[in-house]
Every structure is written in structure tokens, then in C-alpha cells.
Amino acid sequence: MKKPIYLMPVGVVEEGLLEAIAKAVERTFNRPCRVGEGLVEPAYAYDRRRRQYRVGEILLCLRRLDMPQAHRLLGLVDQDCYTPGLNFVFGQAMAGGRDAVVALPRLRQEFYGLPKDEMLFQERAIKEAVHELGHTYGLGHCPNSRCVMHFSNSLADTDIKGVSFCRTCRAELDEAGL
Ligand SMILES: [Zn+2]
Ligand SMILES: [Zn+2]
């Protein structure tokens, strides 16, 4: 049996969302996806001055987890994250590595003072999850704006792109031994 991809809630994450992402990841990567044991709220990564969390430290925390049963670890954190040089990040991954993180708050309409849209939020979270996992398979950013590997500079970019890989990225993924 193929080793599963594990979704790792970092702090509190809605169960319905985890299930929706797990289903999409399973389908996209043709591999089982499980929800792993929840990790503590990332107080260790909090930046008081910016009132944001350092995504690199959350990634490091995942990296330290000894989980030989896992093919990939995708951390999901419901805290606003950043990395030096950027105002915020939707996520980050170890290129060609095991671990990746997706930050959820900025994927919600409410973050921008707009009415709640649960389906849109789920769809965005799925796109960012697949995107960051794509990086763990060594995929870079894709010039095709409909491809899930297209770089999201803003939510508009996220909303334009699809949940799946373009033909070129899919071929690269297949070559990576998926
Ligand atoms: Zn990216
Ligand atoms: Zn592509």
C-alpha cells in the first residue's frame, strides 16, 4: 500500500475542512490521505510586533516529527503567517522535501470584511494544499494561470486557478514517481 499523506492540524482546525482537503488530496495525488494527531498552537512562532506567525518555524516543527509512516506532512494552521521579506504567506513548503504548511485565515472572505462563503473558503484551502504539496514533489511555479502551481500573489490569483495540475506539471509529477 502507498504511504499516506498526513494532514497535521497545528492548533485548532475545523474538522469539516480537514475532511474536504483530505478527499481532494487523495484524488489529486492518488494516494491515501489521513488526518494526523493535532499539534499544539504555534505560540513558539508568534511575532508580537507583527502579530503574525513565522511560517518557517512551523515548518521546522513539522520537520522534527518522526513519522516514518508518512509520505508527506501538510500542516494546516488557522493563524496569519509571514516569512521575512513578505507581508504574509498562504503557505510554504520544503521544495522536494517531506513537509509543507498552509495558513488559513487569509483564505476566508471574512478576513477582508466580506460575507462568509464556506464553499469558496474550502476551495481555496484545497488549492493551496495541493499547491504546497506540489512543491514537495519538486514542482516550481507554473506560468499557466489556470494551473494549481501558478503563484498566488493575491486571492484573485487563487480564485482564477483550478484545483488541478496543468498537463506539463502533471507530467512532471508523474516523473517524480507518483
Ligand atoms: Zn508556491
Ligand atoms: Zn502547471
**Residue pLDDT, tens place only, 75-108:** 999 999 999 999 999 999 999 999 999 999 999 9
Count of domains forming the chain: 1
The pLDDT tens digits for 12-38 are 999 999 999 999 999 999 999 999 999
- Closest ligand by atom to 149 CA: 2
The pLDDT tens digits for 108-134 are 999 999 999 999 999 999 999 999 999
C-alpha 59 – ligand 1 centre gap (Å)? 15
Query: Residue 101, exposed/middle/buried by CB under 10 A (0-12, 13-18, 19+)?
Result: buried
C-alpha pair distances (Å), 1 with each of 22, 92, 107, 117 = 17, 28, 34, 37
Average pLDDT, the chain: 96
**Structural domain span for residue 126:** 5-175
C-alpha 134 – ligand 1 centre gap (Å)? 8
In this prediction, residues 58-62 reach a mean pLDDT of 97
C-alpha 114 – ligand 1 centre gap (Å)? 25
What confidence category does residue 178 fall into, taking pLDDT thresholds of 50, 70 and 90? low
C-alpha 99 – ligand 2 centre gap (Å)? 21
- Closest ligand by atom to 148 CA: 2
pTM of the complete model? 0.96
119-145 burial, b if ≥16 CB within 10 A, otherwise e? ebbbbbbbbbbbbbbbbbbebeebebe
Active site residues: 132
CATH number reported for the structural domain that contains residue 73 in this entry: 3.40.390.10
- pLDDT of 1 over the 90 cut: no
